[in-house]
Amino acid sequence: MALAVSQYQTLQQIGIPVWELRSEQASNAAAVIVDTALDLSNASHIVICEIPKQRSPEQRLLNAILTAIGFPIESVACLMPEQAMFQQTELQDKTVISFAETELETPNLPTLTAQLKQPGLKALVWSTLSASSKS
């Protein structure tokens, strides 16, 4: 619904911002910003995944997986796949679990979203993590 000029003026006078559709060019031009100066010294375990939002089903699944394999939440750092590529030297002495496609020498497990959509994938993840924790 388009607003009349007088409506825009009234909203502006009372301090209410009006949402405007951004152009397609502006949204496509956004660059991926990767923090390459992460301090991973306090983390014993690294999880590579698309970082889930707080209180999302993916976050609950990730917490359940970490608890099931015995990783205390406070000892885990989550990295996006783009960040992991810049942190390869710091990852060498840590346990790394990847729920994303990476070039690292670690099993690439199904994404958290895929596991929620296809619960049968959780068995694959569990068997892979159980086997790797025994070795």
10: amino acid identity, one letter: T
Q: At 28, is the pLDDT very low, low, confident or very high (cuts 50, 70, 90)?
A: very low
Range with the poorest average pLDDT among 9-13, 26-30, 55-59? 26-30
Q: Is the pLDDT higher at 65 or at 86?
A: 65
CA atoms within 13 A on the CB side of 117: 5
* Annotated domain spans of the chain: 45-134
63 Cβ neighbours under 8 A, 6+ residues apart: 73
Mean pLDDT calculated for residue range 41-50: 86
Contact 109, 128 (CB under 8 A): yes
What class is the 45-134 domain?
Answer: alpha beta
Rounded to whole angstroms, how far apart are CA atoms 111 and 126? 13
The letter for the amino acid at 58 is E
Percent of the chain with pLDDT over 70: 81
pTM tops 0.85, yes or no: no
